[in-house]
Amino acid sequence: MAAPELEIIVDDPTAPDAASPAITDSAAVEIVVSLALLALAVTFGFDNWRTGIGWDTAGPEAGTFPFYLALILSAASLYGLVTALRARRRHRETFVTRAQLRRVMAVFVPTLLFCLATQFLGLYVASFLLISGFMRLVGRIAWWKSLLTALVFTAAMFVTFDIAFDVIMPKGPLEAAFGY
Amino acid sequence: MEAFGLLIHGFAVLLTWKILALMMVGLVLGIFVGVLPGLGGPNGVAILLPLTFTMDPTSAIVMLSSIYWGALFGGAITSILFNIPGEAWSVATTFDGYPMAQQGRAAEALTAAFTSSFIGSLVAVLLITFLAPMISSFALRFGPPEFFAVYLLTFCSFVGLGREDKHKTVISMSLGLLLAGVGMDTVSGQLRMTFGSGDLLRGINFLVAVIGLFGISEILLTMEERLALRGHAAGISLRVVLAVWRELPKYWVTLLRSSLIGCWLGITPGGAIAASFMGYNLAKRFSSDPDSFGKGRIEGVFAPETAAHASGTAALLPMLALGIPGSGTAAILLGGLMVWGLNPGPLLFVEHKDFVWGLIASMYLGNVIGLVLVLTTVPLFAAILRVPFAAVAPMIVVSCAIGAYAIQNAMFDIWLMLGFGVAGYVFKKISIPLAPLTLALVLGSRAEDAFRLSMIGSGGDVKVFWSNGLVGSITTLALLLLFWPLLEQAWGQVGRAWQAVTVR
């Protein structure tokens, strides 16, 4: 008996061009990240020092444990900063190319807008807008397919979470109009 | 055999229609998660966790762990059929699995993958069944210093044994521990690191961080790649299954070796990814014909799959026995335990027998049902890949947001998730490991409590961590592991110097 075969072909017309120029190198990003972590460690360390890192009647004060962690974090980030500065002199490794960054932004920006929309319009309306908009504008999928998919998925989520499992999501004016 | 009786009791807990149905739902969702790009085991479990908030703990853990088994099975499908590993731990499966599929032996390769996954987890579950109760009853004698020493051991072994740059592991871990401390201090009630923000008062929830770090960042990373694929989805006929199973005894050495590697790396924080590669490489090294690997040898599928599954399952052993997760996904299940109001640790075996043995029994049952399910429905799941990523990506984003919001009903958490998503993307690209951060976030407050209680008990004397043989040897072992790379280097230099002397 021959097993039934099913051919699956998926194309990616907007795939990032392999020859696209690099935006920045990994060592540069490492330097920025190390500096940011260092700043975070110093801020946290200072706040914990202010809270108290000594010993009181109930044992070590609240800031003690995190204070020493902030010290460890700042030491490790300083070390990372130095190694990244050294590595950068030797050779540069691509962090992200322009074409890749464009694709990443094509997801990140809609996600950011989705979070904003959730805050003001509620999660379900935002979800409908994100899915239909993303499928149509980024995926170039037909309007009717995009709208239908978004509607079905959003409705399924609403039924699953808000009705079946009693997990209440943020709502906006639309749901209010329907009395939810 | 006390464990055996309790296991039977566990099966009795499971055998209700409701739990069996939840198990099926979990397995199907898990295979989905394993097959789809941009969704892995850890974030699949994290996103679906909110579904379980209103369930009782036993149903919840059965469903979540079934998602985990499903994801472990699902990863193999795309590796073999399309040369695209759905999960990092199935990369090694592509080496021989994809060539087999190209030679028209896809059904054989898939059967081999699923069967060996099943064997791997079975060995690990047997280990859990008999070892976990022993470890946990031993750990009942632990006081705060012992617990802190065990936490220290976990953290140090990450630094000492991890493959990443040491300072990057330290960064990831200390950042996680710091973030775990944000909010109200549990001992004194004082506020720490909140900077006057009302939202930070609640603290940074571990699950929100996980959803961002693994869910959102994975989508950003996936978009960087070319997402085209081409292949055949083959159905599996019973004849092929039986033919492969008849061959199994011939490979018992490989299967046993990979199971043992997997169990070891699962318990220690090495993880399924390292286990699958190690299983593959050792099978190749010990083979009489190593050159035939990579060209479609069935042993090359058996070895990594067995190891990956054994490791993924064994990672639950320290979580159950000590409350210390052996992998990212185990860490999320641990987070789930806390949400359902259970206190992870050795007392779990005493206070929640139904829960623990129900979970262990579900490991047996889930793997049997999972095996049958994947063997019969492969083409269906492979067809999911026809759905364009432009439709999948926004749905994953929405699911992530639902998951993040549902944990504490806070809009702030959705923003936090987005922040963690960006951080996770950048960290992954500059190879700062995320697993230590996850582990630190979930264990942070308990490690701190153990440390402070020990300090209070001893009046601030650090010598308490060497106050008896047990705690002393754990602490010493932890420090040894931490400085292991340095010791190894020093040892090598001594050896070379000695060689130079003796040669002369």
Token couple for B501:
């002397």
A3 lies in a domain? no
Q: List, as ranges, residues 36-65 from A with C-beta within 8 Å of B.
A: 37, 40-41, 44, 47-48, 51-52, 55, 58-65
B392 lies in a domain? no
The tally of CA atoms less than 13 A away on the side-chain side of residue B405 is 21
Do A121 and A72 share a domain, yes or no? no
Percent of chain B with pLDDT over 90: 6
The tally of CA atoms less than 13 A away on the side-chain side of residue B239 is 4
Cβ-defined contact of A47 to B193 (cutoff 8 Å): yes
Do A55 and A123 share a domain, yes or no? no
Cβ-defined contact of B388 to A10 (cutoff 8 Å): yes
Do A36 and A55 share a domain, yes or no? yes
Q: Are B151 and B447 in contact (CB under 8 A)?
A: yes
> Exposure of B195 by Cβ count < 10 A (0-12 exposed, 13-18 middle, 19+ buried)?
exposed
Number of domains in chain B: 1
B264 lies in a domain? yes
Residue A29 contacts B where some CB pair is shorter than 8 Å: yes
- Tens digits of per-residue pLDDT, B77-115? 888 888 877 667 778 888 888 888 888 888 888 888 888
A16 lies in a domain? no
Task: Select from A96, A127, A154 the last residue of a domain.
Answer: A96
Do A173 and A106 share a domain, yes or no? yes
B439 lies in a domain? yes
Do A111 and A169 share a domain, yes or no? yes
B393 lies in a domain? no
| C-beta atoms surrounding B473 within 10 Å | 12
B341 lies in a domain? yes
Quote ipTM for the complex.
0.90
The closest CB to that of A26, out of B170, B193, B430, belongs to B430
Number of domains in chain A: 2
- Given a cut of 80, whether residue B271 has pLDDT beyond it is no
A158 lies in a domain? yes
Cβ-defined contact of B167 to A104 (cutoff 8 Å): no
Residue B502 contacts A where some CB pair is shorter than 8 Å: no
Residue A158 contacts B where some CB pair is shorter than 8 Å: no
Q: List, as ranges, residues 273-312 from B with C-beta within 8 Å of A.
A: none
Do A48 and A103 share a domain, yes or no? no
Residues of B whose CB is below 8 A from A80 = 167-168, 171
Cβ-defined contact of B425 to A104 (cutoff 8 Å): yes
A36 lies in a domain? yes
Give the mean model confidence (pLDDT) for residues B32-38: 76
Token couple for B53:
């908030």
Task: Select from A60, A79, A96 the last residue of a domain.
Answer: A96
Q: What is residue A2's predicted lDDT score, i.e. its pLDDT?
A: 40
A4 lies in a domain? no
Do A113 and A172 share a domain, yes or no? yes
Q: A69: nearest CA in chain B? A: B174
Q: What is residue B503's predicted lDDT score, i.e. its pLDDT?
A: 66
Q: List, as ranges, residues 68-127 from A with C-beta within 8 Å of B.
A: 69-70, 72-73, 76-77, 79-80, 83, 95-96, 100, 103-104, 106-108, 110-112, 114-115, 118-119, 123, 127
List for chain A the helix, strand, coil content (%; round to 5). 65, 10, 25
Of the residues B56, B165, B208, B402, the best mutation for testing chain A's interface (the one with the most A CB atoms within 10 Å of its CB) is: B402
Token couple for B250:
């011939």
A17 lies in a domain? no
Q: Among B38-42, B279-283, B369-373, where is mean pLDDT lowest?
A: B38-42
- Given a cut of 50, whether residue A3 has pLDDT beyond it is no
Residues of B whose CB is below 8 A from A76 = 167-168, 170-171, 174
Residue B397 contacts A where some CB pair is shorter than 8 Å: yes
B394 lies in a domain? no
Residues of A whose CB is below 8 A from B51 = 160-161, 165, 167
Do A88 and A154 share a domain, yes or no? no
A117 lies in a domain? yes
- Tens digits of per-residue pLDDT, B106-143? 888 888 888 888 898 889 988 888 888 888 888 888 88
CB pairs under 8 A between A and B: 232
Do A150 and A162 share a domain, yes or no? yes
Q: Are B441 and B423 in contact (CB under 8 A)?
A: no
A2 lies in a domain? no
Residue B434 contacts A where some CB pair is shorter than 8 Å: no
Do A35 and A66 share a domain, yes or no? yes
Boundaries of domain holding B163: 2-225+233-386+409-503
What's the pLDDT band for B447 if we cut at 50, 70, 90? confident
Residue B429 contacts A where some CB pair is shorter than 8 Å: yes
The end-to-end CA distance of chain A, in Å, is 55
Boundaries of domain holding A117: 98-177
Percent of chain B with pLDDT over 70: 97
- Tens digits of per-residue pLDDT, A159-171? 888 888 777 888 8
B398 lies in a domain? no
The closest CB to that of A107, out of B219, B229, B385, belongs to B219
Comparison of pLDDT for B23 and A180, the residue scoring more: B23
Q: What is the pTM of this model?
A: 0.86
Q: Which of B106-120, B182-196, B225-239, B271-285 has the highest mean pLDDT?
A: B106-120
